[in-house]
Amino acid sequence: MSETPRSYWPISVGAAAPALILAGLGGAMRGPVGWTLVGGAFIYLAAALLFVQPKLDDKFDRKFVVGVSLSAYARAFLQRAMGLKTAVEVARELSETAQTALGINRAMLIVGSNEGTPQVLGAAGLEATRVGKADSAWAWLAEQPGPVTRALLVSQRQNPGAKSAEELLQRLGGSVILPLKCQGLLLGAAVLGAPTRTYPAHSIQHFYKSLAATAGAALANSYLHLEESPDKGPPPVLAGLAHAIESALMPFEKPIRFENGLTVRGVFRPVSDCGGDVWAFHDLGNHRLLVFVGDATGFGIEPAVLTAIAKGCIDAVRLVQGSELDPAHLLGALNTVIYDACGKAGFTMTAFAAVIDVRAGKISFANAAQTPPYLLSKETGKPQVVPLSAEGKILGHGPQLTYTKQEKRWKRGDKLVVFTDGLAEAGDPPFGEARLVSLLSSILDLAASRLPETIMVEIEKHLGSRRATDDITIVSVGPQSADDLGGPT
């Protein structure tokens, strides 16, 4: 179904059709009867224009530019929002996008203030409306997986949190609440009025999800620009994000099986509470799977929050681009976000992104100064461990960097192993890539889901009693096997 507004010109023509028929008959018959039919046609057409057409105009919004999809508005919002530095700017862009795309006349952003109480931001900045703490509403909204409509709130009235959220929605004159999260931490909420333009319900729902993902990442980005207090240290929200990252940034380590026949498995060994590694995977549909691994420079709260922003940006790009996601474009979007967020402060990120298309039999990938991963294959009957090399500067190095997409064949039985540089650098002397290639050649027949833990065992043997000096992340992708313990996502 199209995402563009439903066109009503066929209905208008249908309404005027009797007038056209009468005029045609009148012209053919001529004489008094013919003139009577022509006159009747004009009377009918006038009545249609005066009474029928206004109702059609009221039902279908003619001011909207037919042919512009909600996805296009979501992409434009993503491009603008990732460079914003304050919550006020996020609120302004959100309001403008909601108005332009759906004709929503009222859009607000609810975020925390320095005093700890929520404040309402609109297109013009801070609004006079006060919402109170509404703790039960925030706790309930934090658990919601998507947009919260008035109908949902009515059906959940027996829950105190839902009832409090419904009162909040009524107080602000909204139609839907979008919880804005980053790594499971509720950063705020967007309250939108009712759309005045007609789109399919599923398109509006997807548009809302895209807005929420983008606004959540943009809010997290804005918190990196808050000034640190000499007495109290970093803003509390940064510490909250870092704590959420510690437990939620990395997917759990059990194998994940996908309907396209692939399994993903990852292991993560941080050297501090706030690690800088990040990995993500997403089923893009149409038998395409996205795999991303990144490594932010440094340790502490800022790099950890930077990884959260990156993952929020990935979610937003995925929702906007869907199965057409391009790994090179994804890295370009991430570079803009990271440079605007804290590239000028010296924080950067290496990254590798790949899209495996099982049906087309290819893997598309792009690299931002990350150690090249390896493609494991046995096409010629002997083990092949091939590096997937692609040039690209580190994310955050400059304001407008572009990345080149490379492609390789993806054959039945192939496996992919992606890792951060903490793997090769582990130990003294370092574990090294030559040792890794030799190890991969010897374990190529193992199930993809067993590769990360097998590699990690060898690294731990190499380290002995010493500790690694950098986070280590290992991610593998390959065909499903009996060794997999997970289920379809």
Taking a C-beta distance cutoff of 8 angstroms, is the pair 379, 388 a contact? no
Torsions phi, psi for 226 (to 5 deg):
-70, 140
Residue 281 host element (H or E): strand 277-285
Per DSSP, 50 falls in state: I
Residue 191 host element (H or E): strand 185-192
Enter the CATH code of domain 236-479. 3.60.40.10
Q: For 126-160, what is each residue's pLDDT tens digit? A: 776 667 667 788 889 988 989 999 999 999 999 99
User: Which residues, at least 6 apart from 170, have a Cβ–Cβ distance to it below 8 Å?
Assistant: none
Per DSSP, 291 falls in state: E
Taking a C-beta distance cutoff of 8 angstroms, is the pair 415, 478 a contact? yes
User: Where are the extended beta strands (E) located within 128-184?
Assistant: 148-149, 176-182
Residue 163 tokens read as 């009832």
Distance CA(310)–CA(302), nearest Å, equals 12
Torsions phi, psi for 112 (to 5 deg):
-75, 150
Question: For every one of its 489 residues, what pLDDT tens digit does the chain have, with 9 covering 90 and above?
Answer: 344 444 444 444 454 555 445 455 555 555 555 555 445 555 555 555 555 555 544 444 434 444 458 888 888 888 788 778 788 999 999 999 999 999 999 899 988 765 556 788 887 777 766 676 677 888 899 889 899 999 999 999 999 999 999 999 998 989 999 998 876 678 889 999 999 998 888 889 989 998 998 888 888 777 766 555 445 444 555 555 555 554 555 555 677 888 878 999 998 887 765 567 888 899 998 899 999 999 987 666 667 777 777 888 888 888 888 889 999 999 999 998 888 766 566 778 999 999 999 999 999 999 999 999 999 998 766 779 999 999 999 998 888 899 999 999 999 999 999 999 999 999 889 999 999 999 999 999 999 999 999 999 999 999 988 888 888 999 999 998 876 654 444
Query: Is 353 in a helix, a strand, or coil?
Result: strand
Q: For 318-370, what is each residue's pLDDT tens digit? A: 888 888 999 999 999 999 888 876 656 677 899 999 999 999 999 999 999 99
Enter the CATH code of domain 70-223. 3.30.450.40
The DSSP secondary structure of 410-438, one letter per residue, reads --TT-EEEEE-TTTTT-TTTT--HHHHHH
